[in-house]
Amino acid sequence: MTIKNKLRAGFSFLFLLALVCCGLSIYFLTRLSVDARDILKDNYKSVQYTKNIGASIDASAGLLNSRQTELIEENLVKQEHNVTEHGEQQLTDSLRVKFDALKALNGDEAKAVQLHTDIKRLLYGIMQLNMNAIEHKYATAKKTADDATLLVAFVGSFLFLVAFSFTVNFPGYIANPIKELTERIKEVSKRNYHQQLNFKSNDEFGELGQAFNTMTKKLDEYENSNLASILFEKKRIETIINSMHDAILGLDEKSFIIFANEVACTLIGMPEESLTGRYAPDISIENDLLRNLLVNDQIKMKIYADNRESYYTKEVLSVTSKDKVIGSVIILKNITEFQQLDDAKTNFIATISHELKTPISSIKMSLKLLEDSRIGEVNAEQKQLLENIDEDARRLLQITGELLDMAQVETGKLQLNFGSTHPKNIVDYAVKALKTTADQKQVSINVHCDENLPDVQADLDKTTWVLINLLSNAIKYSHEKSVVDLIVKIYKADEIEFSVQDHGRGIDQKYLSRIFERYFKIPGATAEQTGTGLGLAIAKDFIEAQAGKIGVESEIGEGSRFYFTLKRIGN
Ligand code: ADP
C-alpha cells in the first residue's frame, strides 16, 4: 500500500472510531432522556394527581363541597388518562367508584368517613405503584447510564490508545526513513559508496530504498572502475617515466618532490623513498646536484654519477592548470653520446682547418709571386684565372679561419684579450676592412658614432671580427646602391650598443630564433651569398664571452638590424 493510502486508511479509521464514540454517546443520551421523560410522564404525574386528590379529601373532613368535588374530578380524570402500570387501572377504577359513591352521599357522615378511608387507601395504592415504578425505572436508567459510561469509556480509551500510538509512531514512520536516507547521502558525499537502505515496506519508501541502493551500487562500480583505470594509468606512466634514460623530477607548486624516476635517483644519489614528499630546498642544502638543478639557470651540465662523467641538458617545464601553476618538472636529458660526437667533430674540424691553413697560405703566397712581373708576364686570360684562384683561396682561408675559431670556442679554448678601447676604433677597423666590398656593390656605410662616447671593455680583434661579420652580411644581403647604417650609442647607462641596419630583403620571423645557431643558413640564398652559417654563431660566442648581448630585429622586405652590446668603462 502506498503511503498516501496508508495515511488515508489511518485517518479514516480514527475518524470512524470518533464517529462510533459519538454515535454511542448520542444513543445512550437519548435512551436516558426517554427513561427520564417516561418517569416524569407515566409515574410522577400520577403521584401528583393522587397527591392533589388526597389533599382535597383531607381538606373536606367529611362531605365534599363543590370546589373539592371539582378538584378531585379534574385530577381523577387526568389519572384515568395516565394509567401506565400494571394494576393501576383496577385501583383507578375502584377510586372512581368510591368517589362517585362519596359524591352521591346525602349527609351520611359515617358513610363518608368510611369512603374517605377507602379512597385514601386506594390513593396510597396508586401512589405506591407509581413510586415503585419510578424506583424501577430509575434503576433501569441508572444501569443504562452506567453501561453507556463503561462503553463510551472503553471506546474512548481504545480511540485514545489508537490515536496515541498513531501520534507516537506516525512521525517516526515518515521521519525515520528520511533521517536514514540523509545519513546515507552524507556518507555518499564523502565518496563512501558502500551504502544500502533496508526499507522493507511496499510503499514509496521501499521504492526509494531500492532506487538509492541501485544508485550507490552503480556509483561504487563506477568509482572502482575509474579508480582501477586511474591506478592502471598511473602505473603505466610511472613505468614509462622510470624506463626513460633521462632523469625526471616532479615538484609541486610548493617545491615538494612528487616523484623522481630511477635515473634521477641515481644522479641525485638518493633512493626514491628519501626524496618523494620532501621539501626540495631542504634536500638541496646537502645535495649539490639538486641545488644546481633548483638554483642555476645553467642548461648544460656535467654530472659525475655511477663512476663516470656524463653530460646532461636541463629543461624545466612548469605545469599549469587553468592558468595556475601547479608544479614543475625538471628533465635532465642525457647528451653524453652527442657530446662525445660533438667533441670528435670539433677536434676533427680543428685539425683539418689547422692543416689546411698552411697549404692555402702557401697557395696565396705562390699567387702573389705569380703576379710579380719579374717571374714572368701572364696574359689577360691567365691573370683573370689567377684572380679567381686568389678569390677562392681567400674564401677558403676565411672558412678555415671561422672553423678554427668555432673549434676554439667549443673546446673552451677561447682566449680573450680584454682591454679598454674606444668604440670608434672598432668601427674604423671594420669599415676599413669592408670598404672595397662595399664599393664593389656601391653600398655606402653611414657611420653614426659619437666621438664623446666612453671607452668599452673589449677584446679588440674579436669584437672587430664580429662587427666585420655583421657589416659583411649587411652588404651581402643589401640591394646594390643602397645604404647600411652603422650606429653606436649608449644603451641602458652602462652599456654601449653597436647596430648594423641594412635595407635589404629582411629575414622571415620564423627564422629569427635560429639565426644564431651553428651552420644555420636561411634557405633560398644565392651562391655568392651563401657561407658556412657559422659567422653569427661565432659572433654570439665572442660577444657573450665578453658579457655582452647580441640580437636581431627584422621585417621581411624592410631590412634587418643586427646589434650587440658591450660594457662601457666608467660613467
Ligand atoms: P653565413 O656565413 O652563411 O652568412 P651567418 O651566420 O653570418 O652565416 O648568417 C646565417 C644566415 O643568416 C645567413 O645564411 C643568412 O641567410 C642570414 N643573414 C645574416 N645576416 C643577414 C642580413 N643582414 N640580412 C638577411 N639575412 C641575413
**Alpha carbon distances (Å) from 303 to 261, 291, 293, 334, 338:** 17, 13, 11, 10, 15
Which pLDDT score, from 0 to 100, does residue 62 have?
72
**Could you tell me the distance, in angstroms and rounded to a whole number, from the CA of residue 472 to the centre of ligand 1?**
9
Sequence-distant (6+) residues with CB within 8 A of 275 are: 257, 260, 264, 265, 268, 283
Q: What percent of the chain has a predicted confidence (pLDDT) above 70?
A: 99
**Residue having the nearest C-alpha atom to atom 11 of ligand 1:** 521
Q: Which pLDDT tens digit goes with each residue over 175-228?
A: 888 898 899 899 989 888 888 888 888 888 888 888 999 999 998 888 888 888
- Which atom of ligand 1 sits closest to the CA of residue 525? 16
Identify any residues that bridge with 52 across adjacent strands, giving them in sequence order: none
Q: Are the C-beta atoms of 303 and 312 separated by less than 8 Å?
A: yes
Q: Which pLDDT tens digit goes with each residue over 500-556?
A: 999 998 999 999 999 999 889 888 777 666 777 889 998 999 999 999 999 999 999
For the CA atoms of 237, 242, 247, 250, the dihedral, rounded to the nearest 10 degrees, stands at: 40
- Work out the pLDDT band at 571, boundaries 50, 70, 90: low
**Could you tell me the distance, in angstroms and rounded to a whole number, from the CA of residue 350 to the centre of ligand 1?**
23
Q: Which of 466, 478, 536 has most ligand 1 atoms within 8 Å of CB, for mutation?
A: 536
Q: Which pLDDT tens digit goes with each residue over 102-115?
A: 888 877 788 888 88
Report which of 268, 260, 233, 229 is spatially closest to residue 244, judged by C-alpha positions: 260
Q: Which pLDDT tens digit goes with each residue over 542-563?
A: 999 999 999 999 999 999 999 9
Q: What is the mean pLDDT of residues 315-339?
A: 89
Cβ of 473 closer than 6 Å to ligand 1, yes or no, is: yes
Q: Which pLDDT tens digit goes with each residue over 27-44?
A: 888 888 887 887 777 888
Q: Which pLDDT tens digit goes with each residue over 138-173?
A: 888 888 888 888 888 888 888 888 888 888 887 887
Q: 10 Å Cβ neighbour count for 48?
A: 16
How far is Cα 237 from Cα 73, in angstroms, rounded to an integer?
129
Report which of 504, 517, 518 is spatially closest to residue 556, judged by C-alpha positions: 504
Query: Cell numbers at residue 366, please?
Result: 705562390
**Residue having the nearest C-alpha atom to atom 19 of ligand 1:** 473
Q: Are the C-beta atoms of 52 and 71 separated by less than 8 Å?
A: yes
Cβ of 559 closer than 6 Å to ligand 1, yes or no, is: no
Q: Provide the angle, in degrees to the nearest 10, between the axes of the packed helices 109-189 and 3-38.
A: 170
User: What's the whole-model pTM score?
Assistant: 0.49
Give the SS3 label for residue 346.
helix
